[in-house]
Amino acid sequence: MSEKYFELSNLSVGYNKKTLIHDICLDIKKGEIVTLIGPNGAGKSTILKSITRQLEIIGGKVLFDSEEIRSISYKDLSTRMAVVLTDRLKTELLTCHDIVATGRYPYTGRLGILSHEDEEKVDDALRAVNALDLGSRDFNAISDGQKQRILLARAICQEPEIIILDEPTSFLDIRYKLELLSILGRMAKKNGITIIMTLHEIDLAQKISDKIVCVSGDHVTRYGTPQEVFKEEIIKDLYGIDNGFFDPMFGSIELMKPAGETPEVFVISSGGAGIPVYRELQKTNTPFAAGILYENDMDYQLARLLACEVVAESPFEEISDSAFERAKELISTCSRVINAGLPIGPHNRRMLELLDFAMAQGKLETLPAEGDQHG
Amino acid sequence: MQNTGAAGSFRQENFRRRSRYITVFAVLAIAFCVIIVININSGNVNIPISRILDILFTRDGDPKEVDIIWTIRLPRILMAAMLGGALSLSGFLLQTFFENPIAGPFVLGISSGAKMVVAFVMIYSMSLGYTMSSYTMIGAAFIGSLMSIGFILLVARRIKNMAALLVAGIMIGYICSAITDFIVTFASDSDIVNLHGWSLGSFSGMSWSNVHITFVVVGVTLILTFLCSKPIGAYQLGEAYAQSIGVNIKFFRIALILLSSIFSATVTAFAGPISFVGIAVPFLIKGALGTSKPIVVIPATFVGGGVFCMFCDLIARLAFAPLELNISTVTSIFGAPVVIYMMINRKRRAQ
């Protein structure tokens, strides 16, 4: 397993002999899921087209099981590598079954007639993507999500060691995205199929991939595990984000924080109760402060990104004087104080004091608790 | 339970499909036989069906009727059948190549290119006092076809647009026709008589030697095309997918062009340019079979093209007898509406 399996060594790729991305060095192990991420037009697809031999390699090498990929015949390669492309198929009067059956092409005889065994493999592939019922439907008459599943079934049917997918999740709604990715995950872990793909959804890329390749400018800027790559700054740089945030903890993308340095609203909450309030304030572009939040509170994670100030306290400590005083100052300058609900225990007793303080100033608005809303 | 049910429905589906294929082929075979008999039967001299079989199998009977059948009608019918099939397949191959259902040898100007070179060679050899052999005719037509396709490919490389491709083809057609007219204008009168009928498209005046040559050329090309049905099927998914399942794209593209050019060159060499058959027949056959799988579409298109051209030739001979119509006049009347229907239907489906 530790042996080199699929290796890109000093690879340069591009169109018409013009190099777009140079010196790509990747070492991919069998059964790994490797995802290429990066901004539009960065050349992710160009890399995929080069390693599938649709584009001439400009420099360097691609080694597949220590064999130069250019020296492998198309026929041999087709039994080892399958693709799912972004090209739209222009088929005519072909059923989904027919499309999937083309995956058997490398294995059938001169005239391409399917044996009984081939037919069963087509059925198996359709079953693997939960599309057995689509078999007899015209490929043109099904939805984009279904098409994508059929194309994946076609690739599975080819019984490859590696599947290369170019943006397999575009056009898919969230349910099919999850379904498709879980199928890929299963194939990689159960059947040891190596998967190399590009994804636009970095949150999904973080969750499914074993390795992440960041492509930007004219080279691969980073290659490593999701833990190594998904850092706030790396992602911001990669995509050149200046109007929002990437939260590496949940892999979520946040819009820009409300403009303004002085908070107009002070939000008191804990345990996620504050999150909908923050988002509401963000939508109305109202600068706000939040507190007093323990640093391990989930509200803290988001407040850190969206609030202009967060009054924080170390976990499981009693609220310190400095934090308490700062919170009081902020409450005095804010015109509203929203209590989104929080449990009070021995450590945060002083929050009651803070609520009283806000009440005394006539600024406190207490949101009904979740349970009350339903009751 | 559910899985076996679904697999069972596949078997049912397969059975349904096969029965449909068999039905289509049976209908084509019957139509083929019927049209041959009607074709032999009718004309200026009507020969009753009872005597046709005698004459065909024993060559017994009225010497005049034997002569009509064996030297005039039969070679003409056989040529219409083979060339019609060749033309339709040429269309099918071009449609596969250009991923465009309204591509065909006539629309893309390939027939006109062939016509131009044949006219040129014909007049040149006549002026030297030679008569052209059939092989020279096919060779000249083949070169003309390749010239047109070459030009179309140059355009297609730059413009991926379907409509632009067709416009380019039509323009090529006009240019080649203009040059042909130019050559004809400067040819001596006796040559033109020969050239005129041929350049408008006609199955008349076919000889047995034409039949033999066509049988060999079209036969071999047909077999080669049929043997290519597997990569053609892969190519229907687009080049990238075809390559990923093991098709050598560069080689295969050349093969497609050569095969379709040989077909259309043979047709143009013997019968001149014939319009719309190459588009209409594959479309109708695919519709009838309910699939575009080449392994069934190729043989059915060949037979269907034969039936279609024999039928059109029959009308060309009989409609205003003793005057004969150009074959293209008839094929256009039946073929063009099919193409228009196709385009409307596509648009509707796209919306």
A157 shares a domain with A66? yes
Same domain, A175 and A231: yes
CB contact under 8 A, B10 and A119: yes
3-state SS class at B197: helix
- C-alpha to C-alpha distance for A187 and A39, rounded to whole angstroms: 27
ipTM above 0.95, yes or no: no
**Same domain (yes/no): A70, A102:** yes
The residue type found at B59 is: R
A71, A193: one domain: yes
Give the separation between CA B198 and CA A86, rounded to whole angstroms.
Answer: 48
CB contact residues (below 8 A), chain B span 139-168, against chain A:
none
B166 residue type, one letter: L
Comparing CB atoms, the residue among A94, A112, A123 nearest residue B229 is A112
CB neighbour list of residue A369: distance below 8 Å, 6 or more residues apart:
A341
Is residue A254 in some structural domain?
no
Claim to verify: residue A208 and residue A292 sit in the same structural domain: no
Residues A24 and A156 in one domain: yes
Instruction: Answer whether B227 touches A (CB < 8 Å).
Output: yes
Q: Which domains does chain B have, with CATH numbers?
A: 80-350 (1.10.3470.10)
Cα–Cα distances in angstroms (integers) from residue B234 to residues B51, B130, B221, B249, in the given order: 49, 46, 20, 10
Q: Report how far residue B349's alpha carbon sits from residue A147's, in angstroms, rounded to the nearest whole number.
A: 17
Measured in residues, chain B has a length of: 351
Contact of A242 with chain B, judged by CB distance below 8 Å, is answered with no
For residue A315, cis peptide bond before it (omega within 30 degrees of 0)? no
Q: Considering CB atoms only, which of A52, A95, A140 is closest to B244? A: A52
- Do B234 and A136 make contact, defined as CB atoms within 8 angstroms? no
Tell if the CB–CB gap between B295 and A113 is shorter than 8 Å: yes
Among partner residues A85, A93, A111, which is closest to B295 by beta-carbon distance? A111
**Is A330 within the bounds of a domain?**
yes
Residues of chain B with C-beta less than 8 angstroms from the C-beta of A102: 233-234, 237, 241, 245
Whether residues B227 and A105 touch (CB distance < 8 A) is answered with: no
Indicate whether A293 belongs to any domain: yes
Residue A252 lies in a domain: no
Residue A52: closest C-alpha in chain B: B244
Measure CB to CB from residue B233 to each of A97, A112, A158 and give the nearest one: A112
Q: In chain A, which residue's Cα lies nearest the Cα of B237?
A: A89
Q: Which domain holds residue A340?
A: 265-374
Task: Give contacts of B291 with chain A, Cβ < 8 Å.
Answer: 93-95, 98
A56 interface with B at CB cutoff 8 Å: no
CB–CB of B248 and A90 under 8 A?
no
Q: Among all residues of chain B, which has the CA nearest to that of A157? A: B245
Residues A102 and A209 in one domain: yes
Tokens of A23: 């010196």
Reading the block at residue A205, the tokens are: 């890329």
The pLDDT tens digits for B184-197 are: 777 766 666 667 66
For B25-56, what is each residue's pLDDT tens digit? 999 999 999 999 998 888 777 888 878 877 87
Q: Which of A225, A241, A257 finishes a domain?
A: A241
> What is residue B290's three-state secondary structure?
coil
Are B53 and B33 within 8 A, CB to CB? no
In percent, the amount of chain B with pLDDT more than 90 equals 43
Cβ contact, residue pair A87, B240, below 8 Å: yes
3-class SS letters over chain A: CCCCCEEEEEEEEEECCEEEEEEEEEEECCCCEEEEECCCCCCHHHHHHHHCCCCCCCEEEEEECCEEHHHCCHHHHHCCEEEECCCCCCCCCCEHHHHHHHHHHHHCCCCCCCCHHHHHHHHHHHHHCCCHHHCCCEHHHCCHHHHHHHHHHHHHHCCCCEEEECCCCCCCCHHHHHHHHHHHHHHHHHHCCEEEEECCCHHHHHHHCCEEEEEECCEEEEEECHHHHCCHHHHHHHHCCCCEEEECCCCEEEECCCCCCCCCEEEEECCCCCHHHHHHHHHCCCCEEEEEEECCCHHHHHHHHHCCEEEEECCCCCCCHHHHHHHHHHHHHCCEEEEEECCCCCCCCHHHHHHHHHHHCCCEEECCCHHHHHC
Question: Quick one: which of A144, A152, A188, A195 has its CA closest to A170?
Answer: A144
Residue in A with minimal Cα distance to B294: A111
Chain centroid to CA A346: how far? 40
pLDDT, mean of residues B80-94: 95
Q: How far is B313 from chain A (nearest CA, A)?
A: 30
> What whole-number distance in Å separates Cα of residue A217 and Cα of residue A200?
17
The strand pairing partners of A234, in sequence order, are none
**Which chain B residues are Cβ-neighbours of A70 within 8 angstroms?**
none
Nearest chain A Cα to B241, which residue? A83
DSSP letter for B128, please. Answer: T
Does residue A34 sit in the same domain as residue A139? yes
- Quick one: what percent of chain A has pLDDT higher than 90? 52
Cis, peptide link before residue A292, omega less than 30° from 0: yes
pTM confidence score: 0.85
Structure tokens that stand for A231 in this block: 């850092």
Within an 8 Å CB–CB cutoff, is residue A83 touching chain B?
A: yes
Residue A102 included in any domain: yes
In chain B, whose CA is at the least distance from the CA of A130? B3
Say whether both A210 and A273 belong to one domain. no
Query: Which candidate from B13, B240, B247 shows the least CB-CB separation from A85?
Result: B240
pLDDT tens readout for residues A271-330: 889 999 999 999 889 999 998 999 999 899 889 889 989 999 999 888 999 999 999 999
Instruction: Tell whether A223 is covered by a domain.
Output: yes
A323 domain-assigned: yes
- The CA distance from B194 to B274, in Å, is 17
pLDDT digits 0-9 by tens, B154-163 = 887 776 666 7
Tokens standing for residue B150: 């070459």
pLDDT in tens, B127-151: 787 777 778 888 899 999 999 988 8
Candidate from A90, A106, A123 with C-beta closest to B245: A106
Interchain CB distance below 8 Å, B291 and A93: yes
- Per mean pLDDT, which range of A23-37, A197-211, A249-263 is the poorest? A249-263
The pLDDT value recorded for residue B107 is 86
- Cβ <8 Å between A53 and B291: no
Check CB contact of A372 with chain B, cutoff 8 Å.
no
Q: Are residues A233 and A276 in the same domain?
A: no
Q: What CATH number does the domain containing A348 carry?
A: 3.40.50.450
What is the total count of domains within chain A?
2
Largest CA distance in chain A: 88
* The residue type at B298: I
- Window 235-264 of B: residues touching A by CB (8 A cutoff) are 236-238, 240-241, 243-248
Q: What is the CATH number of the domain that holds A11?
A: 3.40.50.300
In a shared domain, residues A72 and A115: yes
- Does A304 lie in the same domain as A217? no
Predicted pLDDT at B2: 41
Query: Across chain A, what does the average pLDDT equal?
Result: 89
Look-up: residue for tokens 């060095």?
A25
In angstroms, rounded to a whole number, what is the distance separating the alpha carbons of residues A199 and A194? 16
**Rounded to whole angstroms, what are the CA distances from A372 to A272, A356, A375?**
17, 22, 5
Q: Which of A273, A257, A245 is nearest to A372 (CA)?
A: A273
In a domain, A253, yes or no: no
